[in-house]
Structure 1
Amino acid sequence: MNGCDITLHGARLTALGSGALWWPAHSLLCVSDLHLCKSERMARRGGPGLPPYETRDTLTRLAADLDHTQARTVVCLGDSFDDLQAARSLPEEDRLWITRLQAGRTWVWIEGNHDPGPIDLGGTHLAELALPPLTFRHIATSDASGEISGHYHPKVTLPTRASRITRPAFLLDDDRLILPAYGTYTGGLRSNDGVLAQLMQPDAKAVLTGPVPVQVPMPRL
């Protein structure tokens, strides 16, 4: 399992190359911003047509992470669906797939700004989840302490000898961890954006996702 070991408020975590977060002590897998059924929502609102395969791709990767970790608890950190109607439009075969993934596990849907949690799917629906020393919520707060959040879809661009690479990334400092978006059809906010630069402490780190996760100082310029 490819990952980068990190620590937040004494909790030993692993930032996985897929963009999921693994907390071995609680057998907990956390994913953020799945944005399932985004193609359906965009088509419904008259946006550009996207191939309607993102839900399947996202669930395939989630199933693989669950298979690798054998997690007993799953926390979906908000914006699991692109909006509430998108959750209602989930094809039955995908709904059954989620049910199979939930079987035998504690499953928590954290409320996001795109959806209040898929209320007609199994699992527990919460505004936030406290598992000391950590707290899981969708959007970071200014006075965070041991906070794990998502929402911003952070990504990092680094120069290489040939050009540049851009990848979704975890952002970490002494008080908070912001997860990258896990969903297939999700954009991102660069780490040098003013919002993230203000949220994260000066010595913040970034963990780039991919086959070999890499930890670097969080780029700010």
Structure 2
Amino acid sequence: MTGHPFTLSATALVALPSGALWWAAERLLTVSDLHLGRSSRIARLGGTLLPPYEVAETLARLDADIARMDPRVVVCLGDSFDDLAAADLDDRNRLWLSRLIAGRRWIWIEGNHDPGPVAIPGEHLRELALGPLSFRHIARSGASGEISGHYHPKFRVAGPARPCFLIDTERVILPAYGAYTGGMDALRPPLRDLMAPGAIACLTGPTPCALPLKGRR
């Protein structure tokens, strides 16, 4: 299995190249910020059009991770849909998502874009505590053993900035998993201020790599 292994609160985790987080002992796969339906929401608001296949692209990536890892539990860390109207998927994508959910525990964490897709199967929680780890949408200062998303962190080494995990001794912030979601520079506040000295940025993609999160004040 490729990816970057690390330990958080004495728990062995792996940051996968796709942007998902794997907890092998619990067979738990975590993803954040799917933003399904982003293109349709922006179109409704009259904004710049995005490619209309972003839902299928995101579901295909999730499908591949689920097939590869065979998780018992999937946790979606909020902003799974761009808004509640975006949760009204077309029949093809709704059936695709339902197939992924079937046969496993599926947890939707509340995000700031949506309170959870209540018309779609799964559990709907504000936060999840499991063993020494806590799962929520937005990081809290002073938290320990925390897994969150929300900020869509990116880090630039050469060429375009790449989505990345931010990892320190107390927390991990996941990249946005959804297609065409944009991102925030990991060296700017509030991300820079949330991460402890010695934090790393683990870049996603076909050639994942972990680098010191330099440039902190």
Provide the TM-score with structure 2 as the length reference.
Answer: 0.97
Deviation string for 1:50-87 (max 9, x for gaps)? 22100000000000000000111000000000001111
User: In the alignment, what sits opposite 2:43?
Assistant: 43
Gaps spanning 5+ residues in structure 1: where? Answer: none
Report the equivalent of 2:171.
Answer: 176
1:188 alignment counterpart? 183
The CA distance in 1 between the partners of 2:56 and 2:2, in whole Å, is: 22
Counterpart of 1:140 in 2: which secondary structure? coil
Separation (CA, whole Å) in 2 of partners of 1:213 and 1:131: 27
User: Structure 2: any 5+ residue segments left out of the alignment?
Assistant: none
Deviates more, 1:101-110 or 1:44-53: 44-53
Q: Distance in 2 between matches of 1:124 and 1:51?
A: 30
Measure the CA separation in 1 of the matches of 2:102 and 2:65: 15
1:22-171 matches, cutoff 5 A: 22-88=22-88, 90-159=89-158, 164-171=159-166
> Could you tell me the percent identity over the aligned residues?
59
Q: CA deviation at 1:217?
A: 0.5
CA contact (8 A) 1:153 1:180 kept: yes
The answer on whether the counterparts of 1:151 and 1:181 sit within 8 Å (CA) in structure 2 is yes
Partner of residue 21, structure 2: 21
Letter aligned with residue 217 of structure 1: P
Separation (CA, whole Å) in 2 of partners of 1:131 and 1:64: 25
TM-superposed CA distance for 1:165, in Å, is: 4.4
Matched-pair contact (CA < 8 Å) for 1:3–1:212? no
CA distance in 1: counterparts of 2:132 and 2:65, whole angstroms: 24
Q: Does the CA contact (< 8 Å) of 1:191 and 1:197 recur in 2?
A: yes
| Residue-by-residue CA offset, 1:94-132 (whole Å, 9 max, x unaligned) | 111111001110000000000000000000000000002
Aligned residues: 216
Q: Alignment partner of 2:12: what SS?
A: strand
CA distance in 2, matches of 1:49, 1:67: 31
| SS of corresponding position for 2:18 | coil
Distance across 2 between alignment mates of 1:197 and 1:220? 9
2:194 corresponds to which letter in structure 1?
L
Task: Give the 4+ runs in structure 1 shifted more than 3 A.
Answer: none
**Structure 2 letter corresponding to 1:62:** L
User: What secondary structure does 2:51 align onto?
Assistant: coil
Compute the RMSD of aligned alpha carbons. 1.0
Q: CA offsets, 1:184-205, max 9 Å, x none?
A: 0110001111211111011111
